[in-house]
A and B are shown apart, each in its own frame.
Chain A
Amino acid sequence: MSEKKQATETKLRREIKMGDLDPEFKREISKVPGIENIKLCFQCGTCTADCPIARFSEIYSPRKIMRMTQLGMKDRLLSSESLWLCAACFTCVDHCPQGVDIASVVTALRNMAVKEGIIPDVFRELTDNIMKTGYAYRIPELRLKKRVEKGLPPLPEANLEDVCKLFDVIAVSKASKMEKK
Chain B
Amino acid sequence: MAGLKYLLFLGCVIPYRIVSYETSSRKVLKKLGVELVEMPEFNCCGLPIDGVDHDAMLLLAARNLCLAEQQNLNILTLCPGCAGALRKVNRSLQEDKKLKARVNGFLKEIGMEFKGGKIAVRHLIQALVEDVSLEKIKDAVVKPLAGLKVTEHNGCHVLRPAKYIGFDDPENPVLLKRLIEATGAECLDYMYETDCCGAPIIGVNDKIPLYLAGDKLRNVKAVNAQALITVCPFCHMMFDINQPRIEKLLSEKFGIPVLHYPQLLGLAMGFTPKEMALDELRVDATKLLNTT
- A156→B196 CA distance, assembly (Å): 30
* B3 at the binding interface (Cβ < 8 Å): no
A33 with B96, Cβ < 8 A, contacts A122-B204, A134-B43, A135-B12 known: yes
Q: Which of B66-117 contact A (CB under 8 A)?
A: 96, 99, 106-107, 109-110
A168 closest partner in B (C-beta): B109
Q: Which of A81-105 contact B (CB under 8 A)?
A: 81, 84-91, 93-94, 101, 103
* A68 at the binding interface (Cβ < 8 Å): no
In the complex, which residues of chain A have a beta carbon less than 8 angstroms from the beta carbon of B59? 166, 170
- A163→B42 CA distance, assembly (Å): 10
B31 to chain A, nearest CB (A): 15
Instruction: Produce 1/0 per residue, A152-163, CB < 8 A to B.
Output: 110111110011
- Cβ–Cβ contact A93 & B160, under 8 A: yes
In the complex, which residues of chain B have a beta carbon less than 8 angstroms from the beta carbon of A94? 160-162, 170-171
Q: Which of A125-181 contact B (CB under 8 A)?
A: 126-127, 130, 134-139, 143, 146-147, 150, 152-153, 155-159, 162-163, 165-167, 169-170, 173-174
A91 with B211, Cβ < 8 A, contacts A53-B198, A135-B16, A157-B41 known: no
- A25→B22 CA distance, assembly (Å): 45
- A136→B233 CA distance, assembly (Å): 14
- Cβ–Cβ contact B16 & A166, under 8 A: no
Q: What is the predominant secondary structure among interface residues of chain B facing chain A?
A: helix
- Cβ–Cβ contact A152 & B22, under 8 A: yes
A115 closest partner in B (C-beta): B53
Q: Which of B42, B209, B211 has the most CB of A within 10 A?
A: B42
- A173→B127 CA distance, assembly (Å): 38
- Cβ–Cβ contact B52 & A123, under 8 A: yes
* B139 at the binding interface (Cβ < 8 Å): no
- Cβ–Cβ contact B60 & A120, under 8 A: no
Please give the number of chain A residues whose Cβ is less than 8 angstroms from any Cβ of chain B in the complex.
61
- Cβ–Cβ contact A169 & B160, under 8 A: no
Stretch at the interface among A2-10, A16-24, A106-114: A106-114
- Cβ–Cβ contact B201 & A53, under 8 A: yes
- A175→B281 CA distance, assembly (Å): 48
Q: Which of B165-186 contact A (CB under 8 A)?
A: 170-171
Instruction: Produce 1/0 per residue, B2-27, CB < 8 A to A.
Output: 00000000101101110100110010
Instruction: Produce 1/0 per residue, B33-50, CB < 8 A to A.
Output: 000001111111000111
A53 closest partner in B (C-beta): B208
- A16→B91 CA distance, assembly (Å): 41
- A159→B10 CA distance, assembly (Å): 16
In the complex, which residues of chain A have a beta carbon less than 8 angstroms from the beta carbon of B22? 152
- Cβ–Cβ contact A166 & B203, under 8 A: no
In the complex, which residues of chain B have a beta carbon less than 8 angstroms from the beta carbon of A114? 51-53
In the complex, which residues of chain A have a beta carbon less than 8 angstroms from the beta carbon of B17? 137
In the complex, which residues of chain A have a beta carbon less than 8 angstroms from the beta carbon of B209? 87
Select which of A101, A126, A158, A174 is within 8 A of B49 by beta carbon.
A126
- A15→B173 CA distance, assembly (Å): 43
Q: Which of A31-55 contact B (CB under 8 A)?
A: 32-33, 52-53, 55
In the complex, which residues of chain A have a beta carbon less than 8 angstroms from the beta carbon of B201? 53, 84-87
In the complex, which residues of chain A have a beta carbon less than 8 angstroms from the beta carbon of B211? 56
B134 to chain A, nearest CB (A): 25
- A20→B174 CA distance, assembly (Å): 49
In the complex, which residues of chain A have a beta carbon less than 8 angstroms from the beta carbon of B215? 55-56
Select which of B107, B110, B196 is within 8 A of A87 by beta carbon.
B196
- Cβ–Cβ contact A130 & B110, under 8 A: no
- Cβ–Cβ contact A52 & B106, under 8 A: no
Q: A53-B198, A165-B110, A166-B107 are in contact. List 12 more A-B contacts (CB 8 A).
A: A33-B99, A85-B208, A86-B201, A89-B196, A101-B161, A110-B52, A127-B52, A130-B44, A158-B41, A158-B43, A162-B43, A170-B53
What would be 30 A-B contacts, judged by CB atoms less than 8 Å apart? Answer: A52-B198, A55-B212, A81-B204, A84-B204, A87-B196, A90-B157, A91-B156, A91-B160, A94-B161, A108-B54, A111-B52, A111-B53, A120-B203, A123-B203, A126-B52, A130-B43, A135-B16, A136-B49, A138-B16, A139-B15, A143-B15, A147-B15, A152-B23, A155-B10, A156-B10, A158-B41, A165-B109, A166-B60, A170-B53, A174-B55
